[in-house]
Amino acid sequence: MFSSRYKQPNTLQRMSLIRLGNWIAQHAELHMTSVTIQAQYNPQEAQATLANKVDHIRKYLDFHVPWMLHDQLVNEAINSLNQLLDKTKNSMGFRASMSTFIAKMNVIVKMTETLFTKNLTYVSIDVIPKMIRTIFYTKLYMLTGLVYLNLGSLSGGWKTADMEASMIKSIKELHALKYLYINYDCTDKILKCIVESCTKLEKLDVSCSKCITNESIDIICKLKRLKSIQLYQTFVTWEGFVNLLINCKTLEDIGRCDEVGRVLEFIHKNCPEALPFNLKIFVSRYANSKHLQLAVDTCPDIFNMTVFHNTLQSDLLVLIGLKNLSKLKLLSCDFYADQIKQVLQVKGCNLSYLHLEHVDQIDLNALMYISQMCPLLHTLTFYNCSLIQHTSLYTKTLDILPFRNLRKLTCVSGFSDEQLLFLLSNCINIEFIQIGTAVQLTDEFIMMLLEKNPLIYLKELRIMQSDFLTIASIEQIIQNCISLEILVELESWSMLSDSDRDYIKNYIKVNNYNIDTAPISSPIRRYK
């Protein structure tokens, strides 16, 4: 289904939310001067006055904004407040007093609290402007309706003890949480609070938290609905994972665990009554053939498999035994020598996702084999693979039209024009394409590709770097790719001048095309 080629007017709902977000920022600006002046004489009274105004606005929003729209309102309001922060910074001359500057910033940050109601369900700290993050960290306990909470890196592990008390104070009130990310600074005390307060929790990510050890596993196992736990780069050893798998029967994902094979081997020998497990995701870099076979036998529901292949220790043909395998990520192997072709021959018809990383011996024949053996592929990734020229071309007529179900293609490897053209000219329903720096496209290649496949369903295109593409390619891409919404990384095209980029932006604007060329890291994109 086509997306609109042209920008459409905002819906009345979106316009209302944008205007309401602006209204919140206007209140901050309106009260900024009076509160600042009052703070010079009586700081406590100024803070009390501001708190009353914020509380009044919060109650007003809580009563008038439908609960299902509150998350969207938060995005719009944070965007408006962030713009006000920038405007206020720029308006302050170098002669302005620091106390006045701090007082004005405090009003804007404090106004964020108007959004803190029980209707806010989703918070990801990393996408919130840094100056506003503090208020989220200190007032999280007010967000009693949160379902998803990503606390980002917190102190990065440098001030874990300082963070603990405030985190516990907040988590005690978050009874609706289902997804919690608390990296670097999780502790056993925080885990105990999670067990007591977050009884609905299904996913917990405590990666990189150095206070998490084998003793922490006994606490984690008390989470009765837990399906996913991420413990990578903590101090949990293989013995801790043994305890986890035996005593937490609801688990479907234990994240990356390089010693999971050793874990399964120990349980198989010493606690066979605990088998089988409900694991559906397997990620390991050190599993040998015996361990892979154990995974197939003891975790029959695995559908997502990530394997770092060791030629001397593991045989990939073992994967054929996974009846539900639909997502496969293979690292460090050879397409032909390590029998990837044979695995795909048997399991390819079930695969919707295939990621090949540091895989050698891929030639045009291999790409053709993938297209025929994996007809239902939705996502295909080549990352740092070594592609070679074929010695003898696959001469049979292709029985299945190649890559007709492919929606997402990532090529971060050195493809030849012939190999890349085979991929791109056949995936007629593709929606996302990323081309890495190892591929140097030319205007001639783009013209040839678009003649064969105009990519009419393509929504996002990322060509990470180019020394040959010119403005002519961009014009052809815009004209042919009628569903295109995101065209990024133009800053890394060396043949484009600043005037070329300005021309493209103006061309898109004048024609009212629904295409965003803002960099991925741009705040403009972040709050859309």
Tell me the domain boundaries of the chain: 1-116, 121-236
How far is the C-alpha of 65 from the C-alpha of 290, rounded, in Å?
58
pLDDT at 97 over 80: no
Mean pLDDT across 295-307 = 95
> Measured between alpha carbons, how far is residue 496 from residues 290, 448, 493, 502 in Å?
54, 21, 6, 10
CA 247, distance to chain mean position in Å, is: 30
343-363 confidence digits (pLDDT tens) = 999 999 999 999 999 999 999
Mean pLDDT of the chain: 92
pLDDT at 64 over 90: yes
Q: Which segment of 182-196, 342-356, 492-506, 509-523 scores lowest on mean pLDDT?
A: 509-523
CATH of the structural domain 121-236, one choice from 3.40.50.300, 3.80.10.10, 3.30.56.10, 3.40.50.2000: 3.80.10.10
pLDDT at 396 over 70: no
Query: Residue 394: which pLDDT band, with cuts at 50, 70 and 90?
Result: low
Q: What percent of the chain has pLDDT over 70?
A: 95
Report the pLDDT value the prediction gives residue 310, as an integer from 0 to 100: 73
Q: Between 312 and 444, name the one with better pLDDT.
A: 444
pLDDT at 391 over 90: no
Question: Are the C-beta atoms of residues 303 and 326 closer than 8 Å to each other?
Answer: yes
pLDDT at 526 over 60: no
CA distance between the termini of the chain: 22
pLDDT at 373 over 50: yes
263-280 confidence digits (pLDDT tens) = 999 999 999 999 999 999
Report which secondary-structure segment, H or E, holds 371.
helix 364-373
Q: Which segment of 1-10, 160-169, 213-222, 227-236 scores lowest on mean pLDDT?
A: 1-10
Query: Residue 528: which pLDDT band, with cuts at 50, 70 and 90?
Result: very low
pLDDT at 83 over 60: yes
Query: Residue 161: which pLDDT band, with cuts at 50, 70 and 90?
Result: confident
Amino acid at 184: Y
Question: Are the C-beta atoms of residues 467 and 495 closer than 8 Å to each other?
Answer: yes
